[in-house]
Amino acid sequence: MAKVVTFGEIMLRLAPNGYYRFFQNDQMQATFGGGEANVSVSLANYGMESVFVTKLPDHAIGQAAIDSLRYFGVDTSKVVRGGERVGIYYLEKGASQRGSVCIYDRKYSSIQQASVSDFDWDAIFEGADWFHFTGITPALGENLVEICKEALKAAKAKGYTWVAGTDEVGRGPLAGPVVAAAVILPENADLPEIKDSKKLSEKQREQLDILIKQQAISWCIAELDEKEIDAVNILEASRLAMKNAVNGLSQSADFVLVDGLPNPRITLPSEAIVKGDNRSISIAAAAIIAKVYRDNLMDEYDKQYPGYGFAANKGYPTEEHIQGIMKQGPCPIHRMTFRPLSELYPQN
């Protein structure tokens, strides 16, 4: 199971019994809670290795907060001790038409007064797979913003640095190659209009093609022609093209985001993302430069092999394309294992 580190504030929660309002009875229930602390407890309940990081005062209330997490199996060994107080929130549960009321009293809590030097993130992240915090934590103060930044830097150093996105175009055409691209983008890539290449105009794709290649840390385009497609089938050809594009990057990737289904040809650590060109900027970038390359190539083939409408249909089975085949037969870039070519011109 994965090891998850969470970072944030755990607070003392004081609430009237049941649905009483704050001063309708003279007792308060005392428990502990907080966004990231609750996540840690939930993960531990699912059997995952869960580590909670915060700063708590070295007194009985601080220890009670730690014990409340340990009860559920949360690792609290990285909790820093120090400061004066535990933050408090008062909760009045809503009933019927009456909403709940939550009042926070967290000023000068130990975590709010924490400093960057309190946390050894390299040691905290040893063996960790995931790091979780919410927007509440950096909102506690400028010092927490800096602490979160240091945590993210350390987390990134423990993780993958060169993440490539890869996608292919040209699986469906009757003619021409299948083309794949792989792209590694910097964190500050400025490509605001990037999205699924099929939703962009030709002009937008060409403009983005230039910007992607200018900003990319590394990019590579690979293709398998019609003969290779016919020899291995289009699925394997697509996988091989993506593998070749990833392997051809001038900066080697250490992780690959693959559009669609997993690609067993890619041996690097990877994640397959369905509709990835809508969810990953690097996959979308790969799809765009692959499509621009293939479209331009088909424009050239249209000049070389007129009569099929390659400039317009890019090799896809349009009516004009089929009529061209029926009139003048296939040309050298046709995929002879694709129907209707395989039926019209069976191979021995």
Flag whether the pTM goes above 0.85: no
- In this structure, is residue 347 part of a structural domain? no
Angle at 166 between CA 161 and CA 170, to 5 degrees: 170
Is residue 323, in this structure, part of any structural domain at all? yes
Q: List all residues 6 or more positions away from 70 whose beta carbon is below 8 Å from its beta carbon.
A: 76
Nearest to 65 by CA among 97, 31, 96: 31
Q: Cα(142)–Cα(132) distance, rounded to whole angstroms?
A: 19
Same domain, yes or no: 138 and 153: yes
Q: State residue 51 phi and psi, 5-degree precision.
A: -120, 125
Q: How many CB atoms lie within 10 A of CB 39?
A: 19
pLDDT at position 342 is 85
For residue 73, the domain's CATH number is 3.40.1190.20
Last residue of a domain, one of 118, 142, 158: 158
Residue 348 lies in a domain: no
Count the residues in the chain.
348
pLDDT at 139 over 80: yes
Q: What is the pLDDT of residue 273?
A: 85
| 199 lies in the same domain as 312 | yes
Q: What is the pLDDT of residue 141?
A: 92
DSSP line for 223-239: EE-HHHHHHH-HHHHHH
Question: Could you tell me the residue range of the domain that residue 145 belongs to?
Answer: 3-158
Based on the fold, state whether residues 141 and 185 are members of the same structural domain. Answer: no
The CA distance from 263 to 271, in Å, is 9
pLDDT score for 25: 82
Looking at the structure, do residues 260 and 323 belong to the same domain, yes or no?
yes
Verify that 192 and 322 share a domain, yes or no. Answer: yes
pLDDT at res. 345: 82
Same domain for 142 and 13 = yes
Count how many Cα atoms sit within 13 Å of the Cα of residue 103 in the half-sphere of its side chain: 7
Distance between CA atoms of residues 37 and 43, nearest Å: 10
Q: What is the CATH number of the domain that holds 185?
A: 3.30.420.10
Do 211 and 116 lie in one domain? The reply is no
Residue 261's alpha-carbon distances to 198, 219, 265, in angstroms, are 19, 21, 12
Once rounded to an integer, what is the mean pLDDT over residues 317-324?
93
Does some domain include residue 345? no
- The answer on 126 and 34 residing in a single domain is yes
How many domains, in total, are found in the chain?
2
User: HEC string of 125-158?
Assistant: CCCCCEEECCCCCHHHCHHHHHHHHHHHHHHHHH
Percent of the chain, pLDDT > 90? 75
Per-residue pLDDT band for 80 (boundaries 50, 70, 90) equals: very high
Domain boundary among 158, 182, 200: 158
pLDDT of residue 214: 94
Residue at which a domain ends, from 136, 158, 180: 158
Cα–Cα distance, 119 to 141 (Å, whole number): 16
Q: What is the pLDDT of residues 237-289, one digit of tens each?
A: 999 999 999 999 999 998 899 998 889 999 988 888 888 888 888 999 999 99
Cβ pair 83, 113 in contact under 8 A: yes
Q: Is the pLDDT of residue 204 over 80?
A: yes
Does residue 255 share a domain with residue 174?
A: yes
Which secondary structure element, helix H or strand E, spans residue 77, and what is its range? none
Judge whether 49 lies within some domain: yes
Q: Are residues 330 and 188 in the same domain?
A: yes
Same domain, 143 and 249: no
Q: Are strands 255-259 and 163-169 parallel, antiparallel or unpaired?
A: parallel
Residues 138 and 42 in one domain: yes
- In whole angstroms, give the CA distance from residue 140 to residue 112: 6
Is 138 domain-assigned? yes
**Tokens 């602490």 found at:** 147
In a domain, 344, yes or no: no
94 located within any domain: yes
Distance CA 17, CA 215 (A): 59
When pLDDT is cut at 50, 70 and 90, the band that residue 195 belongs to is: low
- Is residue 348 scored above 60 in pLDDT? no
Residue 196 pLDDT exceeds 70? no
Q: What is the spatial distance between Cα 8 and Cα 107, in angstroms, rounded to a whole number? A: 15
Integer Cα distance of 158 and 252 in angstroms: 17
pLDDT interval class at 166 (50, 70, 90): very high
